[in-house]
Amino acid sequence: MEIKNHFLCTNDYSADELNYILKAAQALKIMHKKKVPCNYLAGKVLGMIFEKPSNRTRISFEVGMYQSGGKAIYIKASEIGLGAREPVADIARVLSRYLDAVMIRANSHDDIEEMARFSSIPIINGLSDKYHPCQAVADMLTILDFKERLEGINLCYIGDGNNVCSSLIMISSILGINMTVSCPEGYDPVLDDNYKYKLVRNPEQAVTGADVVYTDVWTSMGQEQERSKRLQDFKKYTVTEDLINLADRKAVFMHCLPAHRGEEVTDGVMEGKKSVVFDQAENRMHAQKAILLKLLAPQFIDDISGIVK
């Protein structure tokens, strides 16, 4: 079977490739702000399959395709019956005959990998139980926007060692960010390989000197039945104003959203001066346009990257 260029996990890409995508994302962001039209994906159609709800992922992909001259189609997972009405392998081969790429948000990462194995078009992971790579690329773009570099940045993640945390660890490890994770016992990130990060249980200690403080929900989609136990287990891990004040004076606060104010973060931090969460949400669109370009029309990347200093 031919190996396709998918985007399943950030470790599918080297530092050079990720930096290449980030440069394209910066260029696309500038072009968007200047209202420069870019129809690089004219005639291309992206299918978007969702097994879980979404605000940012769905809308940023859909608008991103539209802005690039292409089109996106929303596919309800329950309608195509992923693995139930029809095997994932058959769905992948059928969709490959109609579409140019598929973005899929699935309960199980194994289904996304199965989809990629049988697809002859690029498959993009729009969040799985294990990873959230598109979020991680958008997060790097956000750090570049606010810190102007990635290498040597101290990124402190407080909370659950979940899909968002794992993708951040992977991309940080590849791009030279020093990542510290602070989570309660039993909630450590689950990673196959030895990625570089520091585990510090005490959040006050972990956050000291951080350039970026990041958190995500304590109860991810699909874990709702564990919510009351998790509220107990994570109660010392809320990002409060006091906690963030222990970070570097110029630290920024990041959250992939949606946020549960009063749980992993206080309203004061979300609405405070250090918060860049809405810039981060915007960057999903620019980053994903760059990922789509890399997968579907890479010949245009060199043309546009030159506009970034």
What amino acid positions are annotated as catalytic residues? 105, 132, 135, 216, 256, 284
**Quick check: 296 and 64 in contact, CB under 8 A?**
no
Residues in 81-140 at the binding interface with ligand NVA, rule: CB under 6 A:
127
- Closest C-alpha to 264, from 244, 287, 245, 283: 244
In the list 125, 172, 220, 305, the residue contacting ligand NVA (rule: CB under 6 A) is: 220
Residues in 229-258 at the binding interface with ligand CP, rule: CB under 6 A:
256-258
Cβ of residue 231: shortest distance to ligand CP, in angstroms? 20
Cβ of residue 257: shortest distance to ligand NVA, in angstroms? 7
At residue 155, what is the residue type? L
Would you call 104 helix, strand, or coil by DSSP?
A: strand
**Quick check: 134 and 294 in contact, CB under 8 A?**
no
Cβ of residue 165: shortest distance to ligand CP, in angstroms? 13
How many residues bind ligand CP, per CB under 6 A? 9
In the list 57, 219, 288, 305, the residue contacting ligand CP (rule: CB under 6 A) is: 57
- Phi, psi of 144, rounded to the nearest 5 degrees: -60, -40
Q: Does 55 bind ligand CP (CB under 6 A)?
A: yes
- C-alpha–C-alpha distance, residues 103 and 49, integer Å: 6
**Quick check: 160 and 203 in contact, CB under 8 A?**
no
In the list 4, 31, 32, 54, the residue contacting ligand CP (rule: CB under 6 A) is: 54
Q: Does 107 bind ligand CP (CB under 6 A)?
A: no
Calculate Rg over the CA atoms of the chain.
Answer: 19
Cβ of residue 14: shortest distance to ligand NVA, in angstroms? 26
Nearer to ligand CP, 4 or 109 (CB): 109
DSSP type of residue 235: G
Q: Does 163 bind ligand NVA (CB under 6 A)?
A: yes
Cβ of residue 210: shortest distance to ligand CP, in angstroms? 21
Beta strands in the chain (DSSP E): 45-50, 71-76, 101-105, 123-125, 154-158, 178-182, 198-199, 212-215, 252-255
Which one of ligand CP, ligand NVA, none interacts with residue 206, CB within 5 to 8 A by kind?
A: none
Q: Catalog residues that contact ligand NVA under the rule CB under 6 A.
A: 127, 162-164, 216-217, 220-221, 256
